[in-house]
Amino acid sequence: MKGDIFQAIADPTRRAILVLIAAQSMTPNALAEHFDTTRQAVSKHIKVLADCELLKQNKVGREIHYCFNPDKMKEFDHWLTQFKKYWEDRFSQLDQVLLNLNSN
């Protein structure tokens, strides 16, 4: 069962993991070095991100490297686009109202 992407990115640690992994693939141990928490806690965060397909795993020898899945983020971005357009339109309307008020 796929995880909820919104729940996954709601956590600041998971967002930080995504930023790190977007730059380069990493093992859980390498990721854990960036956080003031246990490797097990980081592994739980990785599992949540992998469950919602934001991360892919590649086995290299005996190690598992996690890498960012841009395709899943594109799905999320596509969903967000509808709201971006709405808010851009609203801000444009507000700009016009403010211009009209200032010209009076």
Same domain, 17 and 44: yes
Please tell me the pTM assigned to this model: 0.76
Distance from C-alpha of 18 to C-alpha of 84, rounded to nearest angstrom = 22
Tokens of residue 37, six digits: 């928490």
Same domain, 63 and 80: no
Please determine, for residue 1, whether its predicted confidence score (pLDDT) is greater than 60. Answer: no
pLDDT, mean of residues 3-25: 93
Same domain, 64 and 101: no
Please determine, for residue 2, whether its predicted confidence score (pLDDT) is greater than 80. Answer: no
Q: How confident is the model at residue 60 (pLDDT cuts 50, 70, 90)?
A: confident
Domain count along the chain: 2
pLDDT at residue 78 in the model = 86
Same domain, 28 and 9: yes
Contacting residues for 72 by C-beta, under 8 A, at least 6 apart: 5, 52, 53, 54
Same domain, 56 and 8: yes
* CATH number of the domain within which 41 lies: 1.10.10.10
pLDDT at residue 18 in the model = 96
Range of the domain at 89: 70-104
Same domain, 17 and 51: yes
Same domain, 64 and 78: no
**Placement of tokens 């309307």 in the chain:** 93
